[in-house]
Amino acid sequence: MFLMMISFLLVGLAAGDESWYKLSYQGTREACLNEVVDTSHCPDAFPVFPEAAVANPTCSLAIVGAGTGGLYMGMRLVDEGIVAAADVCIFDATERVGGRAYSLRYSGLNLVVDAGAYRTWPEFTPVTHALITEYLGLNASCYDPGESPCEKFVITDPATGHNLGFTAYIESMADRLISAGARWYPWYYLNKITPANGTLALEFANDATATVRSPTSGVAGGGLVLNVPQRPLLEIFRASAGTLNLGLPVFEAAHAVQTAIATKVYLYYETAWWLELGLTSGSFQLEGDASNMVLNGRYHDGDTICVAGECSGFLLAAYVNDYAGQLSQYFRRFQRERPEPVTIISDSTIEGQMFLEHAHDRITEYHIYENVSPSYAVFTAQQLLTTSGPPAFAVVATWNIATLGSGGGWHGWTDETLVDAMPGILSEDYGIHVVNEAYSKVQSWAEGSLEVADATLASAYGIPRYWDVPVADVPLHLAQTAAVECAGEDEDPDGTTAGTATTDDAGAGATVDDELLCFLGDATVELATDGTTTIKLRDVVAGLEIATGFGTGVVRRVLEHRVGAEVEVVVVDTVAGEVVGTPTHPVFVGGEWREIAETLRNGHFGGGDGVRVETRYVDAFYNLEVEGAGNAYLLNGALIASGLGDNVDLNLQFPRQKIWKDRAAKAAA
């Protein structure tokens, strides 16, 4: 999820004038008002906090980046009496607090869009949930009404139950600090840090400066908190390499992660047709490309409101991410400016109408033609979608490498040997603390930033953890270091290798493209020894001789794809139990290789309750590269799955999946 942005650095623009900065970044409401005729499509202004009067302050504690981890550290230090609120300065590169939590409020519609971070999941984010509900006293309600018991939560108004926006808890921390006397400095880009006589001199892009009393000068509670993501942090380090005497270890630690490119698309319908179809929970997917909008949505995510039985609201139509930005390619042309995280696309413009009609056509295509197991009457859906017409406007959030203050949606590790290197690497010498999700053990969640903040409070300031909840002691997720698909795409797609399994991760809290995945590890694989001995798919190792359904094969490679998210899967019931896999993996049915979803759609499985599409939480999927008869593996003694792994030569020689058939055709053309 999108947390703790702030402090992006632009070079070569005129300093001393805030207007230079707004040439490329105006803020969501201002940009919308400048372009959209129907102003009801524009969100409210972000909450405004009183700005400090002194432009070049002296502070005991400076927080650069008004996101979760930085504001939490400031709040705890003030609450513990370590530093006075009046000695705290909060700087941000933008006009707002929240970082990659980005709540857009539509007071005229009584609706909220969380264009960035959006929920807690106590099983994985216990500190975040406790901070919101216990420390700050905010109300939380179930994110998905289809869950029982509820596992994931959003922040709501206790009186009405209405969504307040996930940024509410960050705004609450800012309000506590600023109301107590902390000084707030929006539109402050940090360019450079220079140590001098026990202080740190901060230079900002608007020609302002600040002096920070470092703990090295003996000031209790002093220090500099860099609550910024990787890309802006690297800019600060590059400009400060000489003044801070930064060596190779610092830059190696800084480069140990990479950023994910993420896009969320919400469509506003004046008639919430999905609710009329009873679609209040679950997800839907439809592959896309540069010409066709990808769908990866959830019925329960978007905010809706019903008055006198008439419902309207936002449908989350797409939530996609990868490390190369391929899944976001359709949306790039419609983005206002790359530094803007959000673009409002309205039906009041010709281009907007084009986008919205296409989006509606894709929604219709899925619900009428592509949904292999609808819970609704297709004829009714067609009537409702025709009557409703295209959405009035869309909120498109694209978190890319140029997004102001973030440089992406979240981060993934590329070198886990450096997991503990970054947060305290400058603490002892300079009192500079790197506190963010990027260099944490729970990447892609605010949880990571909070856990780093708690560890820093303990090590640098002697403040014990406030929470009696378990925290991660090893990285929960590892980044893929190359873009891979379930059938494989890269010559050398290795992620982080453990034994014979290659781990590729979509990031906790992320939505994943099913091309990255394959089957749950509970399915069994039959060994070739006697025809009766089986082993769990997750326990298979390279070198095993297995049954392929065509004879005997040898496992050459085991691929483990970490997910940590809810995804759409196809479930096939067999005598030996369920086989659960991603819709695009090829299986051998009816004498030929077909993708599972196609097989189900065309009735090759025979229909019935034994084969169905569901949305499930998945921790990891597994796939095999098999040498030998059929290049396949037999699951639960019933389903023959393609065993080409991510071997490019094999997949081009024996194209079974649509992506490889297309690629082979192009190669032959």
Query: 387 vs 273, 304, 366, CA distance in Å?
Result: 9, 19, 17
Give the confidence band of 115 by pLDDT, cuts at 50, 70, 90.
very high
Most confident of 133-137, 283-287, 632-636, 648-652: 133-137
Reply yes or no on whether the pLDDT at 495 is more than 90. Answer: no
Give the confidence band of 485 by pLDDT, cuts at 50, 70, 90.
very low
How far apart, in whole angstroms, are the C-alpha atoms of residue 98 and residue 104?
Answer: 11
pLDDT in tens, 170-181: 999 999 999 999
Residue 591 lies inside a defined structural domain of this protein: yes
Of 354-363, 464-473, 562-571, the poorest mean pLDDT is in 562-571
Higher pLDDT, 10 or 595: 595
Share of the chain above pLDDT 90, in %: 59
Give me the residues paired with residue 611 across strands.
572
Higher pLDDT, 626 or 221: 626
pLDDT of residue 301: 98
Average the pLDDT over 21-48 and give the result.
84
Q: What is the overall mean pLDDT for the chain?
A: 85
Token digits of residue 605:
């499985």
Higher pLDDT, 263 or 559: 263
Reply yes or no on whether the pLDDT at 21 is more than 70. Answer: no
Q: What is the pTM of this model?
A: 0.74
Residue 77 lies inside a defined structural domain of this protein: no
pLDDT of residue 533: 86
Reply yes or no on whether the pLDDT at 366 is more than 70. Answer: yes
pLDDT of residue 650: 66
Give the confidence band of 8 by pLDDT, cuts at 50, 70, 90.
very low
How far apart, in whole angstroms, are the C-alpha atoms of residue 84 and residue 469?
Answer: 28
Of 44-58, 95-109, 134-148, 480-494, the poorest mean pLDDT is in 480-494
Reply yes or no on whether the pLDDT at 54 is more than 90. Answer: yes
Residue 66 lies inside a defined structural domain of this protein: no
For the chain, the domain total comes to 1
Residue 632 lies inside a defined structural domain of this protein: yes
Sign of torsion over alpha carbons 34, 35, 41, 42: negative
pLDDT of residue 669: 61
Give the confidence band of 5 by pLDDT, cuts at 50, 70, 90.
very low
Among 246, 299, 232, 225, which Cα is nearest to 269's? 299
Residue 222 lies inside a defined structural domain of this protein: no
pLDDT of residue 177: 99
pLDDT of residue 170: 99
pLDDT of residue 601: 58
Reply yes or no on whether the pLDDT at 488 is more than 70. Answer: no
Q: What are 357-364's contacts with CB under 8 Å, separation 24+?
A: 357/390, 358/293, 359/265, 359/267, 359/293, 359/317, 359/390, 359/391, 359/394, 360/267, 360/385, 360/389, 360/390, 360/391, 362/286, 362/288, 362/292, 362/293, 362/295, 362/317, 363/267, 363/295, 363/315, 363/317
Most confident of 308-317, 592-601, 658-667: 308-317
How far apart, in whole angstroms, are the C-alpha atoms of residue 141 and residue 139?
Answer: 7
- Asked whether the beta carbons of 508 and 442 are under 8 A apart, the reply is yes
Residue 625 lies inside a defined structural domain of this protein: yes
Residue 386 lies inside a defined structural domain of this protein: no
Reply yes or no on whether the pLDDT at 305 is more than 50. Answer: yes
pLDDT of residue 511: 34
Residues 6+ positions from 500 with CB-CB distance below 8 Å: 541, 542, 557, 558
pLDDT in tens, 584-630: 888 888 788 888 877 665 555 544 446 788 888 888 899 998 888 78
Of 11-15, 313-317, 560-564, the poorest mean pLDDT is in 11-15
pLDDT in tens, 195-217: 988 899 999 999 999 999 876 55
Give the confidence band of 492 by pLDDT, cuts at 50, 70, 90.
very low
pLDDT of residue 416: 80
Residue 347 lies inside a defined structural domain of this protein: no
pLDDT of residue 559: 86
How far apart, in whole angstroms, are the C-alpha atoms of residue 331 and residue 482?
Answer: 22
- Asked whether the beta carbons of 331 and 398 are under 8 A apart, the reply is yes
Concatenate the DSSP letters of all residues of 503-534 into one string.
EEE--TT----GGG--B-TTSEEEBTTTSS-E
Share of the chain above pLDDT 70, in %: 84
pLDDT of residue 25: 73
pLDDT in tens, 541-591: 888 889 988 888 888 888 888 787 778 888 888 888 999 998 888 888 878
Reply yes or no on whether the pLDDT at 494 is more than 60. Answer: no
Reply yes or no on whether the pLDDT at 478 is more than 60. Answer: no
Q: What is the CATH number of the domain that holds 554?
A: 2.170.16.10
**Domain residue limits at 575:** 496-668
Reply yes or no on whether the pLDDT at 662 is more than 80. Answer: no
pLDDT of residue 95: 93
Of 107-121, 206-220, 474-488, 639-653, the poorest mean pLDDT is in 474-488
How far apart, in whole angstroms, are the C-alpha atoms of residue 509 and residue 529?
Answer: 41
